[in-house]
Amino acid sequence: MVSGYSKTKADGQSIRPFSVLPVSRFSGNFKGMEVHFSPDVETQLQQVASATGKNAEQLVKDTVARMLEEQARFIAGVQSGIEQAERGEFVEHKDVLGRIERLFHS
């Protein structure tokens, strides 16, 4: 398991806001996966698939693949931010507020 940001509390306990399992650890372990949707969701999937010229299965596969890519980017961004903060590379709260204020008034 790959662990995210880790700090130690005063009592010696480790704090880990999140943990990430690498995709490669599970690749090849699943022979197939079956997912069941409610009739309403199935109807919506069929409607969207039809409108986009795909079948429902391909729509689900494409949607899940995009969601997983977004999740990986989000986790990488959070990890990068944590690493920057640990190196002291951050902007003070008051400076962020000033930047936002300038954006709205420019």
Q: What is the pLDDT of residues 62-73, one digit of tens each?
A: 999 999 999 999
Domain residue limits, the chain? 38-104
State what percent of residues in the chain have pLDDT above 70: 72
Q: What is the pLDDT of residues 43-101, one digit of tens each?
A: 999 999 999 999 999 999 999 999 999 999 999 999 999 999 999 998 899 999 999 99
Q: How confident is the model at residue 6 (pLDDT cuts 50, 70, 90)?
A: very low
Q: Report the alpha-carbon distance of residue 100 to residue 97 in Å, rounded.
A: 5
pTM of the predicted model over 0.85: no
Whether 42 contacts 23, CB under 8 Å: no
Helix (H) or strand (E) holding 35: none
